[in-house]
Structure formats: C-alpha cells, structure tokens
Amino acid sequence: MFNQFEDKGQLAQVIQRRLNMTGSAPAPSVAPELFPVLNYENDRPEWGFCKNERLCSCIVELGANVGEFRSFQLYLPTTATSIAVVTSIISHDTNVKFVGRSFIAGGIAPWTAVPTGARDFRYAPVGSVVLAERASTAAQPTFSVRLGRLQAVGETLREPIILGPGGTLMITGATANQTLFASVHWYERAAMPGELG
C-alpha cells in the first residue's frame, strides 16, 4: 500500500480508540495529496493509555543517619524491553542533592525497594517495570555523569532523562548525615524496533 504506516499500528490505534471507531485500521496510509506532520510526544497525557504508556511516580523520604550518605535510584533491568522517560525530579528539602547517571546495578545490596505507583488510575495502582531503590552507605556513591543539582524545596529538574535497559539514574546527598526527600515522575512503554540500538 502506498505511503503505508509502519509504526506497528500505534498511530492507527490512537485514532481508533480516541474516536471510538470500529473495524480495521482507520488510517492505514497517508493520502498522496497530504503531507504528514507528526507533533510527536506532545499530545494529551490521558492518550498515553492508548499507546500503552504507563505514567508512574514515587517518593523517597530518607531521614538523616550519622556517617551515612542517603541515595535513591531508578534502575531499568537489563532484561527489559521497555524504555522509561523521567519527566521531573522534585526536591522536598533544602539539602543539596546531586542527580546523575550511574552504572550501579539495581536489586543488589545495599539497595532496597521503594514502592512505585501508576499516575493513571486505569492501570493497577502499584508496580512498574522500573525498579525504585534506596540505600545508605558510608561512602558517597559515584556517578559516571552528573546531570543536575537540587536544593530548594520545590526546586524541580524538568529536563527529560531516558533510561534504556540497564540504565540507572541516581540521586544522592552531597554530604553525610542529611535527609533525602524527593519525588520522581516518569512514563514507561515498550520500545519500538530500533529504539534500543
């Protein structure tokens, strides 16, 4: 078929679900006289459900502990076939926090799980492909790359950060014996062909 969409039906699925259409794909191709323009990833947040995107979030509340650094990380397992896009990290205390990329694997000591939840209540209220974890360590965890710094209450990092399989985003206190209060928002979805390199 001339100008046939080959996006595995995602665009047709959004049109079909949003307009309550029945039958076969409503837009299998682009008409020759039309020029397709995609304003990608800029539609209504509730439409993410139609594309099998899961909106997620979690909050980490770690009190100060003498001689220890408080840390938090989001880890996408190496076996995942998804990507996760962190959309915001919000500080809830006045302590300096660094945000960065880490190569520390998830699910091993001293990391312990932090509950996550879906922000779209059409999904089950808990659970995520991404692992959220916290830790307390005598030495400050190291980053491969620092991406940001947060301090003031309400200060927010809004630059998108994309996690592929094995990707780890870490937030850690700048000094020992300080609280770490923050919340993180992201969405996750199955990776399309070619997105994982």
Task: Give one DSSP letter per residue of 127-161, joined into a string.
Answer: --SSEEEEEEESSPPPPSEEEEEE-STT-EE-S-E
Q: Label residue 135 by pLDDT band (50, 70, 90).
A: very high
Cβ atoms of 73 and 170 within 8 Å: the answer is: yes
Does residue 88 sit in the same domain as residue 158?
yes
Nearest C-alpha neighbor of 13 from the set 31, 27, 29, 34? 27
Phi, psi of 37 (to 5 degrees): -130, 125
Could you tell me if residue 30 is inside a domain?
A: yes
Q: Examine the domain organization and report whether 144 and 112 are in the same domain.
A: yes
**156-180 mean pLDDT:** 95
Tens-digit pLDDT profile for residues 47-74? 888 888 999 999 999 999 999 999 999 9
Q: Are residues 24 and 101 in the same domain?
A: no
| Residue 117 one-letter amino acid | G
- What CA–CA distance (Å, rounded) separates 10 from 28? 11
Query: What does the pLDDT read at residue 147?
Result: 94
Percent of the chain with pLDDT over 90: 57
For the segment 15-21, the average pLDDT, to the nearest whole number, is: 74
**Is 192 a residue whose pLDDT tops 70?**
yes
Are 75 and 137 part of one and the same domain? yes
Any domain includes 5: no
Residues 101/169, Cβ–Cβ less than 8 Å: yes
Judgement on whether residues 120 and 26 belong to the same structural domain of the protein: no
Domain of residue 32: give its range: 10-38
In this prediction, residue 114 has a pLDDT band, given cuts at 50, 70 and 90, of very high
| 135 lies in the same domain as 90 | yes
| Judgement on whether residues 15 and 98 belong to the same structural domain of the protein | no
* Cα torsion angle, 115, 120, 125, 128, sign: negative
Cα dihedral angle (149, 152, 156, 159), rounded to 10 degrees?
-20
Q: For residue 96, what pLDDT is reported? A: 96
Residues 34 and 114 in one domain: no
* Total count of domains within the chain: 2
Give yes or no: residues 113 and 70 share one domain: yes
**How crowded is the C-beta side of 34, counted as CA atoms within 13 Å?**
10
| Residue 46 forms part of a structural domain | no
167: region left, alpha or beta (phi > 0 left; psi from -120 to 50 alpha): beta
106 within a domain of the structure (yes/no): yes
